[in-house]
Amino acid sequence: MEYVALSNGVKMPMLGYGVYQVPADECERCVSDALKAGYRSIDTAQSYFNEEGVGRAVAKSGIDRKELFLTSKVWVEFYGYEAAKKSVLKTLEKLQTDYIDLMLLHQPFADYFGAYRALEDLYDEGKIRAIGISNFYADRMVDMASFCRIKPMVNQVETHPFNQQAELKKWAGKYHIQVEAWAPFGEGRGNMFTNPILTEIGKKYNKTAAQVILRWHIQSGVVVIPKSTHIERMRENIDVFDFKLSEQDMAQIAALDKQTSSFFSHRDPNMVEWFAKMVEERKHQHDSSKEKKNW
Ligand SMILES: NC(=O)c1ccc[n+]([C@@H]2O[C@H](COP(=O)([O-])OP(=O)(O)OC[C@H]3O[C@@H](n4cnc5c(N)ncnc54)[C@H](OP(=O)(O)O)[C@@H]3O)[C@@H](O)[C@H]2O)c1
């Protein structure tokens, strides 16, 4: 495993396992498989409704807590200082841990400054080892970095070969904010797993397109958290530390950039409305103590 030192010195694995869209009733099995495959960093979120499954797998694994790196994210419904603080304490309970390695604000909507102040205070109290943001485009990221007390250490954003985020990476570097890729494969959109350039590059190293993509991210200094519910793919996705892409390979992958999201823009007012509606719809799910179906 390779690690990166965040701006506060905390060591973060360059590769972890993401559990978005892993159903609550499958999450414990998936995270157990990932831990068996060698993953030590797990990325979940309050809004994935599967933090409890992560917690159970971690508890049953017997792995020393210090070897693990657990990330979760505060959902928009819990923004504002008091609600965010309470929600993080609940996440700690669900994950069955005394501290979270990285806590992010999931979206740049509603009272995110209030929520961020809660993260800062929990960081001071030692309940969170690193704090950050997610889906903050360069302008929101610089806003946050400029007006907060403790600068975000990580920004988790959509990035993959078809949306390389050169501008955001440049600004993140200026503020010592580590970029972490969500959907490092773009969830396979645009036939990424069978892209001829990526598969041709892979043939030289006896690697798949998926492995080339992850290696490209890591060599670009980006942390990755690929998701798979299949143990053989989990093994494939972590097996990326025994080869190195050449400068020419890197240049060929750079040329695949379409400079646009494969999903949606957080700046699109229609999407902001969609998020606001989703926050309302999920309220009853979070009210329940039982894990619910994923979204
Ligand atoms: N902050 C945010 O707003 C946000 C948003 C989205 C995601 N995330 C985080 O980022 C993580 C990763 O993103 P993601 O899950 O959206 O997408 P992703 O990791 O880019 O892609 C996952 C998809 O690729 C398939 N896959 C995985 N490995 C493969 C391989 N080696 N060969 C072929 N197919 C493979 C998976 O299928 P199977 O599962 O069937 O194997 C799944 O359909 C999430 O789990 C979550 O932790 C965060």
The CATH number for 196's domain is 3.20.20.100
CA distances from 197 to 71, 245, 251 (A): 33, 13, 11
Closest to 75 in 3D by CA, of 54, 117, 45, 103: 45
Residue 96 near residue 55, CB atoms below 8 Å: yes
Residue 67 lies in a domain: yes
Strands 3-5 and 11-13: antiparallel
Ligand 1 proximity of 261 Cβ (cutoff 6 Å): no
Q: Is the pTM of this model over 0.75?
A: yes
Residue 292: inside a domain? no
- Asked if the structure places residue 76 within a domain, the reply is yes
| pLDDT digit string (tens) for the chain, length 295 residues | 999 999 999 999 999 999 999 999 999 999 999 999 999 999 999 999 999 999 999 999 999 999 999 999 999 999 999 999 999 999 999 999 999 999 999 999 999 999 999 999 999 999 999 999 999 999 999 999 999 999 999 999 999 999 999 999 999 999 999 999 999 999 999 999 999 999 999 999 999 999 999 999 999 999 999 999 999 999 999 999 999 999 999 999 999 999 999 998 898 999 999 999 989 888 877 655 444 433 3
Q: Is residue 295 part of a domain?
A: no
Task: Give one DSSP letter per residue of 138-166, joined into a string.
Answer: HHHHHHHHHHSSS--SEEEEE-BTTB--H
Ligand 1 pocket test target in 227, 233, 234 with most atoms within 8 Å of CB: 227
Ligand 1 pocket check for 55: Cβ under 6 Å:
no
In a domain, 106, yes or no: yes
Residue in 93, 98, 102 with CA at minimum distance from that of residue 13 = 102
CA dist 166 → 69, 94, 170, 171, 265 (Å):
27, 36, 6, 9, 16
Establish if 293 belongs to a structural domain: no
- Domain extent at residue 196: 3-287
Q: How many domains does the chain have?
A: 1
Q: Domain for residue 294, yes or no?
A: no
- C-beta of 141 in contact with ligand 1 (< 6 A): no
Structure tokens given for 78: 């819990």
